[in-house]
Structure 1
Amino acid sequence: MVGIDKINFYTPNTYIKLEELANYRGVDPDKFTIGIGQSKMSVPPISQDTVSMAANAAYPLLTKNDLNNIDLIVVGTETGVDESKSVASFIHQLLDIHPFAKSVDLKQACYGATAGLMMAVDFVRLHPDKKALVIGSDISRYGLNSSGEVTQGAGAIAMIISSSPSILEIEEVSVSMTKSIFDFWRPNYSKTAIVDGKFSNEAYISFFSELWHEYKNRTARSFEDFSAFCFHLPYTKMGKKALMPLLDAEAPNNKDLLLEHYQLSTTYSRDIGNIYTGSLYLSLMSLLESTLSSLKENQRIGFFSYGSGAVAEIFSGKLVPGFKDALLTKQHDTLLNDRISLSIDSYTDMFNDELAIDSEGNHLFKQDKTDNGVFFFKGVENHQRLYGKNKE
């Protein structure tokens, strides 16, 4: 049995209320809060980047035993900080993991963390006495007053994969699909993504439908074999758009249960925004940590991972006995409830704050006063990114 032993998320300490942003942009707030299903959007200060967020997500999970037995670190990201050096190599040093662990990044839009999870599961199956650390960390940026502005966000998830998981056993059968399309992409020369919104939605829905039918053919399973389905959520209405057409033939009780659990899985994303590679696993935490969830041990959860461009996968997992005891519900409540709400001006300034590197490759700064992360980005010296760690 191999699966998720521990899981955590981190998001920056600052956010903007989308109702206020809508009013400022002259848009009906219902378009944001109901139409796409988002309420708040995390906004990262310059002192929080893909590396620091990843370290902040993983750090609370790690015991001395983990540090000595993690032999693989995989980071899924589409907003890495270097064209060559991996985020995982930074993480290896910041978290003080033993020197003989492999550390790599995987990139395929929002699918990267799932690719990392599958790689980690295979690794632990071959090395059951070892563990793997899987991270998804990203900053979603489309630009101020852009069509995608309201679906931005920032955050990271971290999972420890082991042969004695405390939360979820990952089942062996999964189905993947690849098509080379341009629904969402970011050229190397662009700081923001290019999105064909209508086509992207259509592709997401089509991929789920095709994969589900292939998954059914290979496994002989139906929706009745699942107590919940978690989705990659670029915004919280997206998964429902894909799920609803396939539930028409379902018995009312089962349909209602899946939709109820789907809604619970969207809570964290609604208040954080799109975190790209980590989004699917944020929805898992949202579902499991909800006080309204009726999920029990040995029940099966389905997962739909989608990364534009495009690669997608459907897989499943079973909840293990005592899974609720391994969740960090209180810590997550505190993290979200203690955040600082930004004014429009502060949000604009924070969004526009960029490194001003001189000809020698230097730009150092102090940690943003609103930033309460344990790990933080300090700037660049001699073209090298530097990170700091606060005392706890």
Structure 2
Amino acid sequence: MNVGIDKINFFVPPHYIDMVDLAHARGVDPNKFTIGIGQDQMAVSKVTQDIVTFAMHAAKPMLTKEDLAAVDMVIVGTETGIDESKASAVVLHRLLGVQPFARSFEIKEACYGATAGVQFAKNHIQANPDSKVLVVASDIARYGLASGGEPTQGAGAVALLITAEPRILAFDNDNVMLTQDIYDFWRPVGHQYPVVDGHLSNEVYINSFKQVWQESCRRHQRTAADYAAICFHIPYTKMGKKALLAGFETEDQVQQERLLTRYEESITYSRRVGNLYTGSLYLGLISLIENATTLSEGDRIGLFSYGSGAVAEFFSGRLVEGYQQQLNKKSHEALLDARQKLSIEAYEQLFEEKIDIDTNKTFTDDLLYSIHEIKDTIRYYKDGNE
């Protein structure tokens, strides 16, 4: 029995800034952002839009009534949760209308959380082939105005429906995991923004990939030639490229160029969105399969997941016959093209807005599933039935 991704979709908020504009505002060479880290645009969210808002927009369009009746587990991977106790997955379960006899919870380990959810879902489906699991990676990456991490911010969500006999990607049973207690990026309880050791984080990311890649090759007797493409966690698009080049420096030039070409296809959407934290790897997967020029049914795609702190995992899957019919390239491109560009001044004003969870207040936001009221510390979402 095959288990894997049957449906996949992403959503980003309807506003963005241009990285050249940001560079000019911060007094730096635009090439530092567009070439140095490989970003052209950055998704920007309003204070009334949180991880539930994005998760709903990513998941709802792809789920049928039959899916909602079959889903018996809802998992949200996030590092920007909205409550220290209650999982956003519980709220998502209600708003989506998933049948009541389901398990719903959140997973946190920096940007690795969604992959943990995917693997949990895979094991569940192997034991319960008739069920379906919804995994959503939803995050808001923020480092502060004019901070070193500002150009690597972003926001949005990716939703994956994990089932038996999937129609997009069937997972191989070849996972290699790595855990190291390293403080390269962390956010202590009570801190608004993360603490980052940028140089160390880059170093650990690259070394983690090399370790899990080499161990995977040793265990499964594979080489780069066995993979049609490899997707990476993408905190910024140049990061995955650095790891790819470091990991395949001993491969011949033909293999390197082939994988680099596929990598460029996998970052098409991320260049326009920025960092989705837990969703970045899976946004890269969507970008790859919707924009690749040479992929075909049966091709093996490698996936490298990384969460600072640090947990890494390398695994793979094979494209299923007819996978092209399950993709949504036109709607995803339309979503990105329809966004409104903000001036840097408008972006900074949005960034500084805060919600006081202890103050009852109503809000106005045209986006569905945005927060329309705070009452007695509870978030109420606009669902079209107010």
TM-score, scaled relative to structure 2: 0.98
What residue in structure 1 maps to residue 100 of structure 2?
A: 99
Q: Distance in 2 between matches of 1:378 and 1:157?
A: 23
Matches within 5 A, 1:38-187: 38-187=39-188
Are residues 1:389 and 2:383 paired? yes
State the match for 2:262 in structure 1: 261
In the alignment, structure 1 residue 379 sits paired with structure 2 residue 373: yes
Cα distance in 2, alignment partners of residues 195 and 379 from structure 1: 33
Can you give the 5+ residue segments of structure 2 that lack an aligned partner in the other structure?
none
Are 1:3 and 2:17 matched, yes or no? no
Alpha-carbon contact 1:168-1:317 (below 8 Å) kept: yes
State how far apart, in whole Å, the 1-side matches of 2:222 and 2:3 are: 21
Kindly state the Cα deviation for residue 357 of structure 1 after the two structures are TM-superposed: 4.2
Partner of 1:37: 38
Supply the distance in 2 between the matched residues of 1:106 and 1:228 (Cα, whole angstroms): 27
Code of the aligned partner of 2:3: V
2:298 equivalent to 1:304? no
**Range that drifts further, 251-260 or 305-314:** 251-260
For the residues of structure 2 that align with 1:261 and 1:320, how far apart are their CA atoms? 18
| Residue matched to 1:229 | 230
2:295 counterpart residue number: 295
Query: How far off is 1:356 after superposition?
Result: 3.1
Q: How far is 1:216 from its partner? A: 1.1
State the alpha-carbon separation in 2 of the partners of residues 356 and 47 from structure 1: 11
Q: Which amino acid aligns with 2:257?
A: D
Question: What SS does structure 2 have at the residue aligned with 1:180?
Answer: coil
Given that 1:5 and 1:167 are in contact with CA atoms closer than 8 Å, whether structure 2 keeps it comes out as yes
Deviation at 1:253, TM superposition (A): 2.6
Letter in 2 for 1:49: D
Alpha-carbon distance, 1:252 to partner: 2.8
Report if the CA contact (8 A) 2:206-2:246 is conserved. Answer: no
Structure 2 residue 329 is matched with structure 1 residue 335:
no
Segments of 5+ residues of structure 1 without an aligned counterpart are none
Provide runs of 4+ in structure 1 moved above 6 Å.
none
Do the aligned partners of 2:81 and 2:88 also contact (CA within 8 Å) in 1? yes
Deviation at 1:302, TM superposition (A): 0.2
* Residue 282 of structure 1: aligned partner: 283
1:168-210 per-residue CA deviation (whole Å, 9 max, x = no partner) reads: 0011110001011100001111111110000000000010111
| Mapped contact 1:6–1:61 kept (Cα < 8 A) | yes
2: CA distance, partners of 1:294 / 1:10 = 26
CA distance in 1, matches of 2:371, 2:165: 34
Q: Matched residue of 1:94: which SS? A: helix
Q: Distance in 2 between matches of 1:159 and 1:287?
A: 15
Q: 2:209·2:247 contact (CA, 8 Å) conserved in 1?
A: no
Q: 2:361: which partner in 1?
A: 363
Deviations, residues 304-339 of structure 1 (Å, cap 9, x unaligned)? 000000000000000000101000111101100000
TM-score (norm 1): 0.96
User: In structure 1, how many angstroms separate the alpha carbons of the residues matched to 2:182 and 2:276?
Assistant: 21
**Cα distance, 1:48 vs structure 2:** 1.0
Q: CA deviation at 1:250?
A: 2.0
Letter in 2 for 1:380: I
2:232–2:303 Cα contact (<8 Å) kept: yes
Structure 1 CA distance, aligned partners of 2:248 and 2:83?
43
Paired with 1:317 and 1:311, the residues of 2 have a C-alpha distance of: 20
Quote the Cα distance in structure 1 between the aligned partners of 2:384 and 2:259: 42
Asked if the contact 2:69–2:98 (Cα under 8 Å) also holds between the matched residues in 1, the reply is yes
Identity percentage over the alignment? 50
Q: What letter is aligned with 1:221?
A: R
SS in 2 for 1:104: strand
Deviation, 1:257, is 1.2
- Aligned partners of 1:99 and 1:387: how far apart in 2? 20
In the alignment, the residues of structure 2 paired with residue 310 and residue 162 of structure 1 have an alpha-carbon distance, to the nearest angstrom, of 28
Q: Is contact 1:75-1:106 (8 Å) kept?
A: yes
Greater mean deviation of Cα atoms: 80-89 or 238-247 = 238-247
Residue 90 (structure 1) shift? 0.6
Q: CA deviation at 1:375?
A: 1.8
For the residue of structure 2 that corresponds to 1:136, the secondary structure is strand
Aligned to 1:199: 200
Which one-letter code corresponds to 1:163 in the other structure?
A
Cα deviation for residue 293 of structure 1 reads 2.3
2:131 and 2:163 in contact (8 A); partners too? yes
Q: Structure 1 residues 335, 88: closer, same or farther in 2, change over 3 A?
A: same
Structural RMSD (CA): 1.1
